[in-house]
Amino acid sequence: MAVNLAPPDPGALLPVAGVELGVAMAGIRKPNRKDLLVMRVAPGTAAAGVFTQNRFCAAPVTIARKHLRHPVRALVVNTGNANAGTGGEGIERAMQVCEALAAHLGCEARQILPFSTGVIMEPLPAERIIAALPRALFHQDDWLSAAEAIMTTDTVPKAFSRRVRLSGGSATVSGIAKGAGMIRPDLATMLGFVATDARVPQAALRRLVQRVAARTFNCVTVDGDTSTNDAFVLLATGQGPAASARRDLLRLEVALTDISRQLAQAIVRDAEGATKFVTIEVGAGRTIEECRRVAYAMAHSPLVKTAFFASDPNLGRLLAAIGNAGVAALDASKVDVYLDALRVVRGGARDPHYREEQALAAMRKPEFAVRAVLNRGAARAAVWTCDLSFDYVKINAEYRT
């Protein structure tokens, strides 16, 4: 079902010096599936993360946010159980996992970042995770396996790699992500991990993670439901060339943004029930904030999303969503709308040259853009989203029951 998204070519995924990956089948929710990932990182690795803004954030999010103040030695990620809405006991169980892994690695529990994804409000089976840790410490350096180990309702593992030339030599960037539903990151996606061997000062990495998230994971939405477990973590192991000069940092930022954008878009391409990948751009607004509001109003409207599913150029639904975005003093009679390069709305009414066949042809493609031009300023924003199909309802009406 994924839209224009092939499984990663294992040969194209590059190991990152200073990152060791291992996966295991811990039987957390179902037997015989990879559901546990341990990422060990070299001493001196800089780490920075952004996390869900949901007030019901999960126990591991609370812990990871706190542990990020200390030098990180490993990340431990389980699927099958989100350890969210689990109160104080959830914190205890996540800490038990951190302590067990720290004992294996000879470090402190506060140097471990825990992440969980899966069903909400079930007790975390910490004992099963702890029992499986030794197997996950078997070092494989296999980013594809790592991507597979963090999948839940994903149908395609999501992993991308590239190199970037810095003045001191070539650095590698590899990343994985997961997520297919409950996706409307409010700082990050459900789970995204991007590592580089470049040497990045901690403070610079903290700025980078915000800037990268804002332009990648924070631009996707499937259903407007911000998860309890969203986390996006950048790791820089420092085993490769330095990225501390301004020019190198900029180059690295471009590479990190590139990999993160591919991961974020892969989440939408593999969204629950998605048959269309739609870029929604809003331009000529007064502020980026209002452009984002208008883009999300379209991306979250069930009527717009079902029209995408039907390849129905239902311009009225697009206009109604724009009009609903809550933008003060928006002059509807100035708004233009395009489907790819085709202008379909001019000055708030149907374009005089509108021909439905052309609009239909644009929307029948598995991938297209909707562009609204507000004609009241110079700001712009874009959001990536998908359609609302029978399968979205089917998957979410059947999952967990």
Q: Which residues sit at the interface with its own copies, rule CB under 8 A?
A: 54-57, 82, 84-87, 89-90, 119-121, 181-182, 186, 223-228, 300-303, 306-307, 309-310, 312, 314-317, 319-324, 327, 330-333, 345, 347-350, 388-390, 392-394, 396-398, 400-401
Report, in Å, the least distance between residue 374 CB and its own copies.
11
Q: Which is nearer to its own copies, 133 or 298 (CB)?
A: 298
Token pair of 71, please?
């030098």
Collapsing DSSP to helix, strand or coil, 131 comes out as helix
Instruction: Give me the sign of the Cα torsion angle 208, 212, 217, 220.
Output: positive
Amino acid at 324: N
d(CA 237, CA 183): 29
Q: Of the two residues 222 and 255, which places its CB atom closer to its own copies in the complex?
A: 222
Q: Are 183 and 223 in contact (CB under 8 A)?
A: yes
**Distances in whole angstroms, Cα of residue 195 to Cα of each of 34, 192, 232, 389:** 21, 10, 11, 34
Which one of the listed residues 79, 189, 228, 237 is annotated catalytic? 189
Q: Which is nearer to its own copies, 32 or 401 (CB)?
A: 401
Strand partners, 293: none
Under DSSP, the state recorded for 14 is: P
Q: Could you give the count of Cα atoms lying within 13 Å of 299 in the half-sphere of its Cβ?
A: 30
Residue 276 CB, nearest distance to its own copies (Å)? 12
Q: Which is nearer to its own copies, 183 or 252 (CB)?
A: 183
- Measured CA distances, 372 to 50, 230, 233 (Å): 30, 29, 33
Measured from the CB atom, the residue of 20 and 312 that comes closer to its own copies is 312
- Cα–Cα dist 146/151, whole Å: 9
- Start-end of H helices in 106-177: 126-136, 143-149
- Considering the complex, state which of residue 85 and residue 366 has its C-beta at the smaller distance from its own copies: 85
Matching residue, tokens 């998230």? 213
For 344, which DSSP code? Answer: E
Q: Is 312 exposed, middle or buried (0-12, 13-18, 19+ CB in 10 A)?
A: middle
For residue 270 the two structure tokens come to 């593999």
Minimum distance of its own copies from residue 370's CB (angstroms): 15
Task: Give catalytic status of residue 189 as yes or no.
Answer: yes
Residue count of the chain: 401
Q: How far is the CB of 224 from its own copies (least distance, A)?
A: 7
Say if CB 242 and CB 198 are below 8 A apart: yes
CB of 341 to its own copies, least distance (A): 20
- Burial code (b: 16+ CB inside 10 Å, e: under 16) for 126-160 equals bebbbebbeebbeeeebbbbbbbbbbbbbebbbbb
Nearer to its own copies, 205 or 267 (CB): 267
Cα 33 to Cα 384: distance, rounded to the nearest angstrom: 30
In this structure, are strands 191-196 and 169-178 parallel, antiparallel, or unpaired?
antiparallel
- Structure-derived torsion over alpha carbons of residues 377, 382, 385, 387, reported in degrees to the nearest 10: 40
Shortest Cβ distance from residue 86 to its own copies (Å)? 6
Smallest gap from Cβ 113 to its own copies, in A, equals: 21
Our CB check for its own copies shows the closer of 18 and 273 to be: 273
- Minimum CB–partner distance for residue 58 and its own copies (Å): 10
Q: Which residues are catalytic?
A: 189
